[in-house]
Amino acid sequence: MKRISAVIAVGLTLFLAGNVFAFGTSKFEKEVEKEAGAVKLVREIQRGGYDVVTTDEVKKMIDEGKDVVIVDTMPYEASFKKAHVPGAVQFLFPIPDMNTWNDAETAGKTQADYEALLGSDKEKTIVVYCGFVKCTRSHNGAVWAKKLGYKNVYRYSGGIYAWKGAGYEAEKVN
């Protein structure tokens, strides 16, 4: 009996020690991933010339009735229809950088269609988002809003995942 207890104790100790080591390594590796993601985001923001907003800031804009256009850049059927930030409008942008306008990458919609969606007031607040921080559709949407002359352009980098993660209600299309 003592031998079985000793074997179990040694096994448990090795298991726990192995997991502590694995978790320690994993924690540091995860930090490298976070760092790479943060630097990528900052560089996109610098390149795009827009600003960023948090989930709570977007929620406050909505709650206060601020005159804002919130653009969801995800595919209509696969995402927007299922869940989007309340009051958002949908306009598909591609994931890779869209340096020149390509109607095929925006579901056949033109630059003029995007400008019409955003409205004629170039001072209006524009918030552009996609699914989550690593998704770059929102970067393309924000960049093109800036290229079209809008002055108050924000990227909501957390997107619909952060919105849901904060416990806020999402809208869907019936």
- CATH class of the region 51-165: alpha beta
Return mean pLDDT, the chain: 87
Q: Supply the pTM of this predicted model.
A: 0.81
Band the pLDDT of 17: cuts 50, 70, 90: very low
Q: Can you give the pLDDT at residue 24?
A: 55
Q: Can you give the pLDDT at residue 56?
A: 97
Domain range annotation of the chain: 1-48, 51-165
Digit-coded pLDDT (tens) for 47-105: 999 999 999 999 999 999 999 999 999 999 999 999 999 999 999 999 999 999 989 99
Tell me which DSSP letter residue 88 carries.
Answer: -
| Beta-strand runs (E) in the chain | 51-52, 68-72, 89-90, 125-129, 152-156
Band the pLDDT of 134: cuts 50, 70, 90: confident
Band the pLDDT of 129: cuts 50, 70, 90: very high
Q: Which of 67, 61, 35 is nearest to 133 (CA)?
A: 35
Residue 125: strand pairing partners? 68, 152
More confident residue, 41 or 70: 70
Q: Which of 80, 88, 93, 43 is nearest to 61 (CA)?
A: 88
